[in-house]
Amino acid sequence: MQVLTYLEKYYPEQECSHERPDLETWKWKMMGALVGVEARLQESLKPKSRNYPHSWNRNEECLDHMSGITLVTSVLTWTWCSYSRRSHEWLHQEVAISSPNSSNQDSLAVSYLIHSCGLSPEAAISVSKKVQFKTLERPNSVLALLRNHGFTKTQVAQFVKVNPSFLLSDPEKTLLPKLQFFQSVGFSNRELARTLTSNPEILFRSLEKHIIPNYNILKSVLRSDEKIFAAMRRARWAFQTDFRTYFIPKIAFLREHGVPEPCIALLLTSHPQAMTRRYDQFSEAVIEVKEMGFDPSKSMFVLAIHALLNRGIWNRCYQAYGKWGWSKNDILLAFRKHPQCMNLSEKKISEVMDFLVNKMGWQSTAIARSSSGILFSLEKRTIPRCSVIKVLSLKGLIKKNLSLLTVLQAPEKSFLKNFVTKYEEEVPQLLGVYRGTVDVLEA
């Protein structure tokens, strides 16, 4: 037992025995020993004196420590491999982290986060600075609870990475009752794991004072479990608020102004953060949208509310469109047709307008009347389709004044049928142009 001999020589505090040790204790003692060996090796490699900074003290002890690293690492590798298939068994065991100094404890925490929680080494080092535990009894129990409720390795890693203090929660008193509640109202393990991974903070809220009342409010409006799941995943921080204070008054205000339940549900599922704004800001946006001529019974009404509540983005979009010659009336026209056009980045607006105006030759103000064209993906939809139209126009096979909506809004099958398949005999390489493998000028 070379490893035991080495450890007895330099680490009598590790209480090594030549008898077969408990494998769990053995594993963690080996990890602690490895950290200590590395520290001693670094000490051995220090310069002999200040006058000879490049003269290293490579003595017998240094070589001894280097051999120790090789031995301990080998044992650790064997231990991890042997126990990988039965990792769930040791999650239920209490393993004390005993090390001579804080650096050893930190290293053991990093190792635990990597091998038990699935974090990358970089993430484990970062997380280890935010959470400390003297034993692994509680984090083991927390991980076991998550896995028993359908959490995958990736979801567990994400959970721990976002909220490392979660590992110190009381699994029986703090976590289990909340998981059981969500299961009782219809959440499957798969949907529960997916939802809570997106919004882990929910489990830190009071079940009676926060989770149950908020769920009941969502249920009364959304009715569908799928919509509730979507709202909970989308509004990670919005669910830190009390819905009775923030949501109910605004829902009542929307109803007073003729907004139907399906549109309120759309706002809650698509843009729940809008409901967390101050009541005066929210009510002003509702009134302003109504004065712009939006119909409260249509979905565009609530999408416009969301756009107006983001004044900073609205103003930047306004300026970006103005640079392309759009008047105030052009911008409002585009906004009424598709409110989402005022939620885009300046870069997105600039790139799309540059392509449609300078590359395709469409009039800038005409794009305002077909503002949905700005919303599509430039790389995946706009460029492939417009490239096909460009080739067909250059060859005189179609008229040049096709509307932007005709080109971009058509379903995929319809576009391919009317503009690619239809002309494949005249232009055999047209499909290659659409896929981006053939240049427009080469077709």
Residue-wise pLDDT for 211-260, tens only, equals 999 889 889 999 888 888 888 877 666 567 788 888 999 999 999 999 99
pLDDT, residue 91, reads: 34
In the chain, which stretches have pLDDT less than 50?
1-26, 28-29, 32-33, 35-101
**Cβ density class 342-368: b for 16+ within 10 Å, e for less:** bbbeeebbeebbeebbeebebebeebb
Cα 375 to Cα 114, 339, 355: the distances in Å are 41, 10, 13
Mean per-residue pLDDT over the chain, rounded: 80
pLDDT, residue 348, reads: 97
> How long a stretch of residues is the chain?
443
Shortest CA distance to 147 belongs to which of 132, 157, 137? 157
pLDDT, residue 103, reads: 54
Domain boundaries, the chain: 376-443
pLDDT, residue 241, reads: 78
- For the chain, give me the number of helices (H) and strands (E)? 24, 0
| CA–CA distance, 402 with 390 (Å, rounded to integer) | 11
pLDDT, residue 157, reads: 92
CB 326 within 8 A of CB 333: no
**Cβ density class 3-13: b for 16+ within 10 Å, e for less:** bbebbeebbee
| CA–CA distance, 330 with 208 (Å, rounded to integer) | 51
Cα 409 to Cα 243, 338, 374, 414, 421: the distances in Å are 38, 13, 11, 10, 18
pLDDT, residue 441, reads: 79
* DSSP secondary structure, 110-133, as one string: HHHHHHTT---HHHHHHHHTT---
First to last CA, the chain: 74
pLDDT, residue 25, reads: 46
The region that residue 242 occupies, defined by phi over 0 for left and psi between -120 and 50 for alpha, beta otherwise, is beta
pLDDT, residue 47, reads: 44
pLDDT, residue 2, reads: 45
pLDDT, residue 251, reads: 95
